[in-house]
Amino acid sequence: MNMETVMQELEALGKERTKKIYLSNGAREPLFGVATGAMKPIAKKIKINQQLAEELYATGNYDAMYFAGIVADPKAMKVSDFERWIKGAYFYMLSDYVVAVTLSESDLAQEVADQWIASDEELTSSAGWSCYCWLLGNRKDEEFSKSKISNMLDMVSKSIHDSPERVKSSMNNFIYTVGVSYLPLHEKAIETAKSIGTIEINQHKKKSSLLDAYSNIQKEIDRDRLGFKRKYVRC
């Protein structure tokens, strides 16, 4: 399948209701409004195709950019490719759920995510923290430096309340993920979550939301999901 064929199939799957939901969350035209689950049959036909992924991502169409992340070959991507993708990610559903997810399946994941976390760009930093959430929720604990993750928890504790909104959200998710999926620092994550307390996220044209990593970690403990790891990151 070439780009034109994929775009035609995506357009045929678009729903006005889904499009409105995406627009209300920060997406912009062009987009079709395709539910992510509806993309799976097309993805099965294509499997992995990095050239096609690059062409689709470059369209600026939200649905095509999302689908690009599904068919991309992260291990074939260079640092410059990820930098290009994050620059094109104009709202959080792209930065945190397409670019960060794709990066998490690359051997460059921690190297690039560390650079992004230090960025002054809100969505770039958010993607860096989100990448670690995807990593910790999928890879074995021994693949990470305990001291490094511990220092990251300290960084969150000191800076979360003064960080941009999307970075706050991703940092909060990082505490939760460490608390549930990275057993060596489970207790420290709980203490960090307790000390931070509730985080208020102000959302554009929406009511603010309250995030509480501590109570969410406790819910997973009650469900006997401590140590949970995803089998796959991408859908």
pLDDT for the residue 124 = 98
Closest CA to 205 of 15, 19, 23, 16: 23
pLDDT tens-digit series, residues 87-129: 999 999 999 999 999 999 999 999 999 999 999 999 999 999 9
- Please state the pTM of the whole predicted model: 0.96
Percent of the chain at pLDDT > 90 equals 95
pLDDT at residue 58 is higher than 80: yes
pLDDT for the residue 222 = 98
pLDDT for the residue 24 = 93
Average pLDDT of the segment spanning 166-170? 98
pLDDT tens-digit series, residues 19-37: 999 999 999 999 999 999 9
pLDDT for the residue 235 = 64
26: exposed, middle or buried (Cβ count in 10 Å: 0-12, 13-18, 19+): middle
pLDDT for the residue 234 = 84
Average pLDDT of the segment spanning 49-58? 98
Closest CA to 67 of 135, 6, 4, 130: 6
What average pLDDT is seen over the chain? 97
CA 104 to chain centroid: 9
pLDDT for the residue 206 = 77
